[in-house]
């Protein structure tokens, strides 16, 4: 980990807040005045109990959730000020994967991965075909191009979703509980795929999960979200720093367990 002192952040969140109206009346503050910088090329984890606001925070990074106040800047573009058209264009470079994959059930694997390319219409047919093949190669599913998602296992579905998210050469990949619907073995292989993509393509990965073990082995930095605020933010490899939250301490444990060398470094 040799990073330059202050690289420009690829995602910058400044004083973002978001509240939801509750069905039974009243407001729920999902995110309260959070500021956060995510650096280019890193794998950043967001942990927290359910309802802590971590997913809302992640979904702000491509403006699926529009903050009530504050600003979101990705790759130098302030998303919160963009026109709908410019926002669509900006979202091209922000890939996202989900707990339940969200693939088109009535489209083949090929068509699913081609979807983001087709909606932006930037590629002719041979280039599009080549790009889809490239992305499927990256996740090891070239032979499934003609299959429908219902024929795939959970892990394969998530890898199709990763290929789809990568098709438009994103700078950022947002992962919303990507392994929560998967069994432990598949979880490991999907995490390996994410790690591999981060290393090979330099895509910045932001991952929300409540699986501390997964995050401990994957992330360089992580933030603990509690009650809509960042309770703690730390470098996972820096085991000397004190951890103030219980989730932070647990994460330290898993990080040390999966990377034993780091503890004594």
Partner 1 sequence: MLEKLLLVAPELWRAFGETLLMLGIGLSAAVLLGGPLGVALFLSGSGEPGRGRSIGQALGWLVNTMRSFPFIILMVALVPLTRIVAGTSIGPLAASVPLSIAAIPYFARLVEQQLHEVPRGVIEAAEAMGATRLQIVTRVLLLEARSGLVLALTVLAISFLSYSAVAGVVGGGGIGDLAIRYGYYRFETDVMVITVAILVAMVQLIQFGGGRIARRLDKR
Out of 73, 168, 198, 209, the residue judged to bind partner 1 by CB under 8 A: 168
Q: If we measure between CA atoms, which residue out of 9, 74, 43, 5 comes closest to residue 199?
A: 43
Of the pair 107, 262, the CB lying nearest partner 1 is at 107
DSSP state of 7: P
Quote the least distance from Cβ 6 to partner 1, whole Å: 30
* Only segment of 90-98, 187-195, 219-227, 242-250 that touches partner 1 (CB under 8 A): 90-98
* Interatomic CA distance for residues 53 and 70, integer angstroms: 16
* Interatomic CA distance for residues 166 and 113, integer angstroms: 9
DSSP state of 17: E
Q: Which of residues 102-161 bind partner 1 (CB under 8 A)?
A: 102-107, 115-116, 118-120, 148-150
CA distance between the termini of the chain: 12
Q: Which of residues 21-80 bind partner 1 (CB under 8 A)?
A: 62, 64
Quote the least distance from Cβ 248 to partner 1, whole Å: 30
Q: Rule CB under 8 A: is residue 96 a binding residue for partner 1?
A: yes
Out of 12, 71, 80, 98, the residue judged to bind partner 1 by CB under 8 A: 98
Q: Which helix (H) or strand (E) holds 155?
A: helix 154-166
Cα-to-chain-centroid distance, residue 113 = 18
Quote the least distance from Cβ 95 to partner 1, whole Å: 8
Quote the least distance from Cβ 98 to partner 1, whole Å: 6
Quote the least distance from Cβ 92 to partner 1, whole Å: 5
Quote the least distance from Cβ 175 to partner 1, whole Å: 12
Query: Which stretches does DSSP call E strand in 22-106?
Result: 27-38, 43-47, 69-74, 77-78, 94-97
Distances (CA, A) of 24 to 20, 27, 28, 134, 265: 12, 9, 11, 49, 52
Of the pair 65, 226, the CB lying nearest partner 1 is at 65
Binding residues (CB under 8 A) for partner 1: these are 62, 64, 87-92, 94, 96, 98, 100, 102-107, 115-116, 118-120, 148-150, 164, 168
């Amino acid at each position: 980990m040799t990073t330059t002192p202050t690289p420009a952040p690829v995602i910058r969140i400044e004083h973002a807040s978001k509240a939801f109206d509750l069905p039974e009346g009243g407001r729920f503050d999902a995110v309260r005045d959070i500021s956060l910088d995510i650096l280019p090329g890193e794998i950043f984890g967001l942990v927290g109990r359910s309802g802590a606001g971590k997913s809302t925070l992640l979904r702000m990074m491509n403006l699926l959730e529009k903050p009530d106040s504050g600003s979101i800047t990705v790759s130098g573009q302030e998303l919160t000020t963009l026109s709908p058209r410019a926002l669509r264009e900006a979202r091209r470079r922000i890939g996202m994967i989900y707990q339940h994959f969200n693939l088109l059930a009535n489209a083949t694997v090929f068509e699913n991965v081609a979807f983001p390319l087709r909606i932006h219409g930037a590629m002719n047919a041979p280039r599009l075909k080549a790009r889809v093949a490239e992305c499927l190669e990256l996740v090891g599913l070239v032979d499934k191009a003609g299959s429908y998602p219902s024929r795939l296992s959970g892990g394969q579905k998530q890898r199709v979703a990763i290929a789809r998210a990568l098709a438009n050469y994103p700078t950022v990949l947002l992962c919303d509980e990507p392994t929560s619907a998967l069994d432990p073995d598949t979880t490991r292989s999907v995490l390996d795929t994410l790690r591999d993509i981060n290393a090979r393509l330099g895509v910045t990965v932001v991952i929300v999960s409540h699986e501390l073990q997964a995050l401990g082995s994957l992330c360089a930095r992580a933030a603990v979200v509690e009650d809509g605020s960042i309770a703690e933010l730390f470098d996972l490899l820096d085991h000397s720093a004190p951890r103030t939250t219980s989730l932070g301490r647990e994460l330290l444990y898993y990080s040390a367990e999966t990377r034993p060398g780091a503890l004594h470094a």
